[in-house]
Every structure is written in C-alpha cells, then in structure tokens.
Amino acid sequence: MNILNILDEIEKVDGEIYERISPRRKAMQDFFQVGKKISLAALPLALGSLFNKAYGQTTPSTVNDVLNFALTLEYLEYHFYNHALVATPNLVPAGAPNGAITTIRNHEKAHVDLLKGALGANARTELVYDNFDFTAGGTFGTVYSDYVTFLKVATAFEDTGVRAYKGQAPALKGNAVLTTALQIHSVEARHASHLRQMLAANGATGLKPWISLGAGGVSNDTGIAAVDPVYARENNTVQANIEITAINGTAVTRAAAAESFDEFLTKAEVVTIANLFLKPGFKL
C-alpha cells in the first residue's frame, strides 16, 4: 500500500493529519495518538472483501435448529460405529483398530448425550440404528462385512461432520454454545485424521490425514467416487479472495494450499449426504 493512500485514509478520519505530522509542531506524538482512530480506515481491501463473501448460509437458523441438526449427525455416526462393534464384532480387527473405533464411538455417544441434554425438551426425536441404512441403498453393500468399505464410509462421515459443523458456526456466533460446537468439531477432525491413516494402511496408499487434492486436482482425494459430494470444493485454494498457492512469494504449492484450509458444507449439502443413509420416513 502506498503511504499516500494510507495518509489519505487517515485524513478521512482525521482532517488535520497533515498538520499533525508537521515537523514544526513536534507533532509526532499526536501522530501516534491518532493511531486508534484509523485502525479501521487503514484496513486493506482484502479484509474488506471478506465482508462481502457469501457463505451460502442465507437462512439464519436458530440455535436449537443447529443443535438438532448436529444431533442428527451424531446419531448417525454413533449408530454406525456402535453397530459395527456390537453386531459385527469380527469386522474391525482386534487391537489398535478396534481400540480406535471404540474411542470414536464413545466420543460420538458423548456428543449425542451432550446435545440431547443441552436441547432438553427441544431435542429432536431419537434416532435408532434401524432408522438408518448404512449401505446407502446398496452403494456400500458390504459396509458391515468388508473392513475397508467400513473404513471408507467412516472416513466420509467424519470428513462430513467436520465440514457440517464449520458451515453452521455463523449461526452460533457469539453464543457460548459455539465454543462447545467447536470443541466437538475439532474432535471430529481428529477422528477424520486417524481414520484416513487407517484407510491409508488398508489400501488407500498415500491418503493423507488432511484432505489433499485428488488425482488431477479434483476435490475428492479418496478416489471413492460415491463420496464425491462429501469433498465438494475441497480443492479450493482461494480464501477470502486471497489465493493461497504461492502466497506472498512462498513455496506453498496448490496441494498445500488446498490442504491448509478445510472447507465448509452448507446445511443443504449435508442434508443431501445424510439422507443417503436415512431410511424413508426419517430423512431430513
């Protein structure tokens, strides 16, 4: 930014700026005191443009709506893992894999209980295992008989959860509930990171703990076409109108740029994904 532009901006909030900086008046101290007034005026365009960025969350949701939406997703995740551990005990190998899935299941149960408790009488109708179809109408027909398919769906669920919470954050802005939601959100991200490593150890060679660019730069880095909607826009490299690739002359590659920021999903996008796994009569 040219210093004259800065001075022009200062002049808008302090018409005497040029007088203040006159060396005749020993005015440099005044100059410093002006500082507070111009912090907003001197902001670069990049920040201003943030205000104009549309995030697709055009319909403001009430806090309860958001929490019930989150509760639905937590029911989905909890029943998915719980069924695997309880009903198909040989699906997830004993030892570290079973330990990890158990840890994740327990967190999802804790999230369900927490959200239910927070919502009280406003909580949505409870969802039970039978309300779900984790084969997604046969797309993942072997989800409870083939460990790798199970891991694929699990990874997709966690990556979806991370993106879903992110998209709902503005509806909770400034509310103490936001902190709780963020605390759930980052736990889901930890789950996703670990599940991706589990998937990488079971055939998905090179799949990273963080969402990277897919082959040829596509948004889905898992190579599982059926979960494309989960990874929509994850190849984005522009944040708040700022191109992250090679930002400020750094060696940040396009892949690193895509990896370094997770993307959000709109509520409508999440509903579409969740409905694939909900039986008729229970769809959102």
Partner 1 sequence: MTSNNLFIQIKTCIMENLNVNKSSSANEADVFPGKLQRRAFLQYAGASAAALALTTAGCKKDRSPILSFGATLDFKDDFGVLNYAYALEQLEAAFYTQVAANPPANFTTAQRNYFQDVQYHEIAHREFFKKALGTAAIGSLEVDFSSINFSDGASVLAAAKTFEDLGVAAYNGAGVRLKTDAYLVIAGQIVSVEARHAAWVRDQISNGSFSDLNDLTALGANVAGGLDGALTPDKVLNAASKFIKTKINVINL
Question: Applying CB under 8 A, does 214 fall inside the site for partner 1?
Answer: no
Question: Applying CB under 8 A, does 73 fall inside the site for partner 1?
Answer: no
- Residues in Cβ contact with 30 at an 8 Å cutoff, skipping those fewer than 6 apart: 20
Residue of 82, 262, 275, 276 that binds partner 1 (CB under 8 A): 262
- At 158, the amino acid letter reads E
Minimum CB separation of residue 23 from partner 1 in Å reads 6
Site map 219..258 versus partner 1, x via CB under 8 A: --------------------xx-x-x--xx-xxxx--xx-
Binding piece for partner 1, criterion CB under 8 A, among 63-71, 147-155, 204-212, 220-228 = 204-212
Binding piece for partner 1, criterion CB under 8 A, among 85-93, 110-118, 128-136, 217-225 = 110-118
State which H helix or E strand residue 239 sits in.
Answer: strand 238-239
- Residues in Cβ contact with 73 at an 8 Å cutoff, skipping those fewer than 6 apart: 160, 161, 164, 270, 274
Question: Applying CB under 8 A, does 210 fall inside the site for partner 1?
Answer: yes
Nearer to partner 1, 107 or 267 (CB): 107
Nearer to partner 1, 139 or 239 (CB): 239
The answer to whether the beta carbons of residues 81 and 154 sit under 8 Å apart is yes
Minimum CB separation of residue 142 from partner 1 in Å reads 26
Question: At what angle are helices 3-13 and 28-38 packed, to 10 degrees?
Answer: 80
The answer to whether the beta carbons of residues 14 and 38 sit under 8 Å apart is yes
Site map 115..154 versus partner 1, x via CB under 8 A: ----------------------------------------
CA distance 258 to 200: 19
Closest CA to 88 of 143, 130, 151: 143
The answer to whether the beta carbons of residues 115 and 168 sit under 8 Å apart is no
Question: Applying CB under 8 A, does 79 fall inside the site for partner 1?
Answer: no
**CB neighbourhood size of 148 (10 A):** 13
Q: According to CB under 8 A, which residues from 180 to 199 bind partner 1?
A: 180, 182-194, 197
HEC readout, 130-194? HHECCCCCCCCCCCCCCHHHHHHHHHHHHHHHHHHHHHHHHHHCCCHHHHHHHHHHHHHHHHHHH
Residue bearing tokens 């660019």 = 213
Q: According to CB under 8 A, which residues from 35 to 64 bind partner 1?
A: 35-36, 38-39, 42-44, 46-47, 50-51, 53, 55, 57
Nearer to partner 1, 132 or 259 (CB): 259
Minimum CB separation of residue 55 from partner 1 in Å reads 6
Nearer to partner 1, 133 or 209 (CB): 209
Nearer to partner 1, 112 or 274 (CB): 112
Question: Applying CB under 8 A, does 263 fall inside the site for partner 1?
Answer: yes
Minimum CB separation of residue 139 from partner 1 in Å reads 26
Nearer to partner 1, 208 or 275 (CB): 208
CA distance 76 to 276: 11
